[in-house]
Structure 1
Amino acid sequence: MIYQSDALTVERMDGDIAELRFDLQGESVNKFDQATVRHLTGALDALEAETGLKGLLVTSAKPVFIVGADITEFTGLFGAGADELKGFTAVNNANFNRLQNLPFPSCVAINGYALGGGFEICLACDFRVMSTAAKVGLPETKLGILPGWGGTVRLPRIIGVDEAVTWIASAAEQRPDAALKARAVDAVAGPDELREVALSTLQSAIDGKLDYAGRRAQKSSPLPMNDTEAMMAFFTTKQMVQQQAGKHYPAPVKAVEVIEQARGMGLEEALEVEAAGFAELAVTDVAAALVGVFLNDQLLGKKARDWEKKADKKVAQAAVLGAGIMGGGIAYQSAYKGVPIKMKDIDQKGLDLGLKEANKLLAKRVDRGRMTPVKMGEVLNSIDPTLTYGGFDNVDIVVEAVVENPKVKHAVLAETEGQISEDTILASNTSTISITHLAEALKRPENFCGMHFFNPVHAMPLVEVIRGEKTSDKAVARTVAYANRMGKKAVVVQDCPGFLVNRVLFPYFDGFSKLLRDGADFQAVDKVMERWGWPMGPAYLMDVVGIDTGVHAAGVMAEGFPDRMKLDFKTATEVMFENERLGQKNGIGFYEYVEDKRGKPRKTVTETTYELIKPHVAERTEFSEEDIVARMMLPMATEMARCLEEGIVGTPAEADLALLYGLGFPPFRGGVFRWMDTVGLNYISDASEKFAQLGKVYELTEGMKAKLAAGETYY
């Protein structure tokens, strides 16, 4: 043994070849935490001191290669300043340079995910052989940063500027065929042949059949392009990347700028440019927010897996009640992810509609080459449309997705309970109705919970799993396990009107209603909130949700929280509803919708909206962007704080992700709690005082006041 540690080993093999094997003890994956970086330094010391070596094979003892840097260590560094951040990147850059300059060739066998720093160490090796089951990539721009261990330097010198920019700016994982085509790897082999092919490649380099010295020179030299070529290439590239990334995400464009700035430099100098770019991005609010989203997602996934471990059985057979667009979407998602499902309705037309929805979604996958027609047939066959309860006694979970009416749901749930086994979990896909109230119709309320999907089911990641007063852990665990099987992000919340997402969404809509009452232009509000980062402004969002749905939900919220959500004026949304303007579902709401050539509804402005709301609003008034944002966001923020303080949601992380995955809250802001931490509770408090006359929903909660007084943050 040449070197041994808790993170990696170096062992001498036959033929004077050394094997550097990553195997981080106590972890399911390899990652570059600071301890591993130190151990790699020690391993390189040992390799350089060892005599008679002819080559180095780099491998992983785990099912994946290296997933990248340990992101949990990033958060402490982000507030440290540029110098310390440069020091963070410098140690492993020195390691990778030493690896690249060893006095013998190196080859890496990539047996699983090699991402971020895990791929950058592969780029430092002379040759790369990739498993057919592996993926590689540089995902750093998704975190608001850029590759910090040579990715922006080596990759463009290996595969060319255009391809490297695409890889880095998109942050996408690359499959073996794409990596081979781009020449990012030298060979692809099946998992069983990977080691043999890597050793064969290494031996060819040792025997002089492969020129590793030339490869090193290429990685260490300036990019082979003159000034004119560079000017044209980078101007076009930056424009394209800027357009795709958008103004709120600076990392992709910065990565292109770093590649451009370092194009005429050698390795060491280029790495300094990269380090400066990394440090510049790492101290931004965007990086803090996006890294926070990543870490929150890790926490959410762990909580969901913990619930799944508590489940008494796997969901092998599911059922959905109500076969409309929502029921068809649930059926599609379940079947697509491998859980057969019965789809029951009282009407054949409903079943036809549900099957049509599932068929449409599957056909899209086939058209895009993501599914074979044979697989599509298999998935469709696992959806069993039925008008009866036949076979329901063998179902593990039933999701009720009938009309949003308490009396109808009570009747359907009670009837269904009589047709299923005593062990079956019954869940309601309600968006507003109390789970505790719905459970009153049941003999086994402990087996009942909420399972709130968001529309469209196939596209929206979030599922709220709602615990009623009598819901058991068994019901929650099996429902979360089913959500996991369906590929969804499950957030477990307590029962209350609107649960979590709708409870905090409707104060936001109330802020919109009060702005219009006071003379704001709904188009102007939409544009401001879209510039702030929302995928659509509140008027457009209400049209998409459905104005009838919005009015119904607003009534539920007003009844549940009359002290702050009951409005004493007729809202513009109610005016739209009274005039049968329901939004996209009937082609006219705040905006009018006409299908474009692709069959998608195109939004256009109608003067009729202004005429209809004119008797109910003040004279047109100009509001500053800051005031519009504050009046829209403060009600959402205070209600989110109440939900946390009341235990409706367990952590700020879960709350923030629920809005990201359920509403499309801007990821670069990280969530409502992250946003409050970024702007500071002093700012929130000042806004609260400024708009206090607008009602209780603009008042700070007791918990917010306590945090403000103590100088605390939510994260």
Structure 2
Amino acid sequence: MIYQGNAISVARDDEGIATLTFDLKDESVNKLSSAVVQELEQALEALRGESDIAGLVLASAKDAFIVGADITEFHGLFAKGEGEIQSMLEQVHGIFNGLEDLPFPTVSAINGLALGGGCEVTLATDFRVMSETAKIGLPETKLGILPGWGGCVRLPRLIGADNAIEWIAGGTENRADACLSVGAVDAVVPPEFLEAAARDILNRARSGELDYQARRTEKCSPLGLDAIEQMMAFETAKGYVAGKAGPHYPAPIEAIKVIQKGAGEERARAQAIEAKAFGKLALTDVCYNLVGLFLNDQVVKKKGGQYAKQSAPVERAGVLGAGIMGGGIAYQSASKGTPILMKDIKDEAIELGLKEARKLFAKQVERGKLSNEQMAEQLSNIRPTLSYGDFAHIDLVVEAVVENPKVKGAVLAEVEENVGEDTILTSNTSTISITRLAENLKRPENFCGMHFFNPVHRMPLVEVIRGEKTGDGAVAATVAYARKMGKTPIVVNDCPGFLVNRVLFPYFGGFSQLMAAGADFQRVDKVMEKFGWPMGPAYLLDVVGMDTAVHAGEVMAEGFPERMGSLGGAGNEGKSAIQVMFDNERLGQKNAKGFYAYEEDKKGKPRKVRDEAAIELVKGIAESGREFSDEDIIAWMMTPLCLETVRCLEDGIVGTPAEADMALIYGIGFPPFRGGALRYIDAMGLEAFVAQADELAAELGALYAPTDRLREMARNGERFYQDAAEA
């Protein structure tokens, strides 16, 4: 044994081939923490002290090669400032350059995921062989930074500037065949042949058949592009990537600039350019929030995993109600391998549900994600039925009928009579109390909420709602099923609107207040979209549907009369803008007219256009023609949403700040680069936020009033995320 550490060991065989193996103790995956990076330096130093090494294989003893740097260290490191960041980068560059400069050929045997720093360490070796099942990539731009351990320097020199820009700016995970086609790896083999293939490459390098020194020269030299080629490669890419990334995500464009600036430089200078840009991005609010988002996501996944471990697997499912929502749920279940019965009382509803599922499968075929044979096989996992005949063998049922408590209650009581005693019943309700729906059930402990968001196949969140009598087993099974469907479940307690809709409707209340005060809804939409929302509130209401919004608003008003008695903002007709739209049968996209009118685009999708009739209707309820700044609009819209998130945390509806913020990002598209409602308050400062809320509450009422606990936190200088790495 040449070296033995906590995460790395180095051994040499009789032929002089050394193998450096990553195997981080007490962890399921390998990560390049600061401690592991120090071990790598020590291991390479030990290798340099040996006189008879003929070659080196980098390998992993875990299913993944290396999943990247240890992101839990980022907030702490970045908080130390640019000097510390530069020092860290220089240290790692020195270690990776030392690997690249070893006096014998080197090869990485990539057996699984090699991401971020895990990918960058493989780029420092002369050759790479890859398992057919592995993936490699540089996802750093998704964290608001760029590859800082040589990725922006080595990858373009290996696969060309165009391909490197696509990989780095997109943050993609790349399959083995794609890696081979662009030259990122030298061979792709079945997993069982990986070690032999790595040794074969080293033997060919030792014999002179493969020139490993030429590989090094290429990676350490300037990119071979003339001025015209550089302009074509970089300027075109900047325009395209800027359009895709948008103005709030600077890292993809900065990565292209780094590659461009370093294109004419040798290794040391190009790495210095990379390090400087990394340090600049690491200190941005966007990076802080996106790293926080990753850490929050880990908290949510860990909690979901803990629930799922307590449950028997859901092998067979059922869905009641076969409309668009039921068809979407059936598709999601079937596509992830869980057979599902889809029941309705009408043939035409069954056909509608099947049509929705077929459409979604067909899109997968169009995109090359599925073959026709795979589509047919997965579609066969959906069994339509008009009866309860086979429901006795179902593990879990999702009720997805009309949003009416009497109808849902009757359907749930009926299905309970037709399933086994251990079958879990769930309701895909968006507003109705789970405790109330459980009143007519004989086994309420086996019942909980399972709230999907529309469209089911796109929206990652599922709220799992615990009623007063819901048992742990029901929650665990529902979480396990949601995870099996590829969703992110977050467990919340029962209340009107649960978590996401309870928080969303004060946001709509803020919108109604603005309309009553004379704001232009088109301008409000533009301001909130510029703020980072995928669509403004008027457009979102059109998508949700005015009838749905009015119904949900009534539920909120009943549950929280002091704050949400009229969703805020009743104008001079005594009605909110939402109610006026509903009364004038302007339901939104579902009947092609709401705050906007809707026309079909070339793809048959609704496209919003200005509608003078809607503008006049809203003007008719305005109490004044008040002028608002962009900052005013943001404050009126965001303050009630953030305050309701605080209340949900204080009321125990949601367990942690991490879960609250992730639910808003995954459920309603809260701008990810802002980190969530509670991180948004932290960024403003609790004292400043409370002062702003108090000022608005004096004019606009209880919807804007801070809680006593929030005031106390502000006085004490507290934050929702007390420590940089805490969620």
TM-score when scaled to structure 1?
0.99
Aligned to 1:106: 106
Query: Is 1:51 the equivalent of 2:90?
Result: no
CA shift at 1:226, angstroms?
3.0
Separation in structure 1 between the aligned mates of residue 644 and residue 44 of structure 2, nearest angstrom:
54
Separation in structure 2 between the aligned mates of residue 26 and residue 444 of structure 1, nearest angstrom:
41
Query: Is 1:640 the equivalent of 2:645?
Result: yes
CA shift at 1:682, angstroms?
2.5
CA shift at 1:307, angstroms?
0.2
Separation in structure 2 between the aligned mates of residue 136 and residue 613 of structure 1, nearest angstrom:
53
Q: Letter of the aligned partner of 2:27 in structure 1?
A: E
Aligned to 1:407: 406
Separation in structure 1 between the aligned mates of residue 193 and residue 125 of structure 2, nearest angstrom:
20
Instruction: Report if the CA contact (8 A) 1:106-1:126 is conserved.
Output: yes
Aligned to 1:266: 266
CA shift at 1:466, angstroms?
0.2
Aligned to 1:709: 715
Aligned to 1:590: 595
Q: Letter of the aligned partner of 1:396 in structure 2?
A: D
Q: How far does the alpha carbon of each residue in 1:253-291 deviate from its partner, in whole angstroms, 9 at most, with x for none?
A: 111111122222211121111111111001110001111
Separation in structure 2 between the aligned mates of residue 109 and residue 523 of structure 1, nearest angstrom:
55
Separation in structure 2 between the aligned mates of residue 154 and residue 329 of structure 1, nearest angstrom:
44
Separation in structure 2 between the aligned mates of residue 223 and residue 635 of structure 1, nearest angstrom:
53
State the secondary structure of the residue aligned to 2:147: coil
Aligned to 2:373: 374
Aligned to 1:655: 660
Separation in structure 1 between the aligned mates of residue 55 and residue 255 of structure 2, nearest angstrom:
33
Query: Is 1:531 the equivalent of 2:566?
Result: no
State the secondary structure of the residue aligned to 2:349: helix
Separation in structure 1 between the aligned mates of residue 135 and residue 611 of structure 2, nearest angstrom:
49
Aligned to 1:218: 218
Instruction: Report if the CA contact (8 A) 2:396-2:423 is conserved.
Output: yes
Q: How far does the alpha carbon of each residue in 1:188-224 deviate from its partner, in whole angstroms, 9 at most, with x for none?
A: 1110111111110111001111111111111111121
Instruction: Report if the CA contact (8 A) 1:521-1:620 is conserved.
Output: no
CA shift at 1:689, angstroms?
2.5
Instruction: Report if the CA contact (8 A) 1:530-1:536 is conserved.
Output: yes
Aligned to 1:242: 242
CA shift at 1:634, angstroms?
0.2
Aligned to 1:608: 613
Separation in structure 2 between the aligned mates of residue 330 and residue 161 of structure 1, nearest angstrom:
42
CA shift at 1:233, angstroms?
3.1
* 5+ long unaligned stretches in structure 1: none
CA gap of 1:214–1:528, structure 2 versus 1, over 3 A, is same
Q: Equivalences for 1:415-426 in 2 at 5 Å?
A: 415-426=414-425
Query: Is 1:570 the equivalent of 2:575?
Result: yes
CA shift at 1:703, angstroms?
2.0
Q: How far does the alpha carbon of each residue in 1:458-491 deviate from its partner, in whole angstroms, 9 at most, with x for none?
A: 1110000000000000110011011011111000
CA shift at 1:37, angstroms?
0.6
Aligned to 2:700: 694
State the secondary structure of the residue aligned to 1:542: helix
Query: Is 1:283 the equivalent of 2:283?
Result: yes
Separation in structure 1 between the aligned mates of residue 7 and residue 453 of structure 2, nearest angstrom:
42
225-234 or 463-472: which moved more? 225-234
Q: Letter of the aligned partner of 1:66 in structure 2?
A: I
Q: Equivalences for 1:172-187 in 2 at 5 Å?
A: 172-187=172-187
Aligned to 2:338: 339
CA shift at 1:228, angstroms?
4.2
Q: How far does the alpha carbon of each residue in 1:525-576 deviate from its partner, in whole angstroms, 9 at most, with x for none?
A: 0000000000000000000011100010001001100000012531111111
Q: Letter of the aligned partner of 1:653 in structure 2?
A: A
Separation in structure 1 between the aligned mates of residue 527 and residue 466 of structure 2, nearest angstrom:
37
State the secondary structure of the residue aligned to 1:26: coil
Number of residue-to-residue matches in the alignment: 714
CA shift at 1:161, angstroms?
1.0
Separation in structure 2 between the aligned mates of residue 506 and residue 55 of structure 1, nearest angstrom:
63
Q: Equivalences for 1:78-117 in 2 at 5 Å?
A: 78-117=78-117
Separation in structure 2 between the aligned mates of residue 50 and residue 655 of structure 1, nearest angstrom:
54
Aligned to 1:64: 64
Aligned to 2:631: 626
* 5+ long unaligned stretches in structure 2: 722-727
Aligned to 1:165: 165
Q: Letter of the aligned partner of 2:375 in structure 1?
A: M
528-537 or 80-89: which moved more? 80-89
Instruction: Report if the CA contact (8 A) 2:654-2:660 is conserved.
Output: yes
Instruction: Report if the CA contact (8 A) 2:687-2:715 is conserved.
Output: no
Query: Is 1:33 the equivalent of 2:33?
Result: yes
State the secondary structure of the residue aligned to 1:174: strand
Aligned to 2:42: 42
Q: Letter of the aligned partner of 1:101 in structure 2?
A: D
CA shift at 1:613, angstroms?
2.6
Separation in structure 2 between the aligned mates of residue 232 and residue 129 of structure 1, nearest angstrom:
31
State the secondary structure of the residue aligned to 1:491: strand
CA shift at 1:685, angstroms?
1.8
146-155 or 369-378: which moved more? 369-378
Q: How far does the alpha carbon of each residue in 1:585-615 deviate from its partner, in whole angstroms, 9 at most, with x for none?
A: 1111111111111101011010000222332
Q: How far does the alpha carbon of each residue in 1:332-352 deviate from its partner, in whole angstroms, 9 at most, with x for none?
A: 111111111111111111111
CA shift at 1:225, angstroms?
2.1
Sequence identity (%): 60
State the secondary structure of the residue aligned to 1:108: strand
CA shift at 1:131, angstroms?
0.7
CA shift at 1:232, angstroms?
4.3
Query: What is the Cα-based RMSD across aligned positions, in Å?
Result: 1.0
692-701 or 651-660: which moved more? 692-701
Q: Letter of the aligned partner of 1:660 in structure 2?
A: I
Separation in structure 2 between the aligned mates of residue 104 and residue 612 of structure 1, nearest angstrom:
77
Instruction: Report if the CA contact (8 A) 1:37-1:91 is conserved.
Output: no
Separation in structure 2 between the aligned mates of residue 711 and residue 654 of structure 1, nearest angstrom:
23
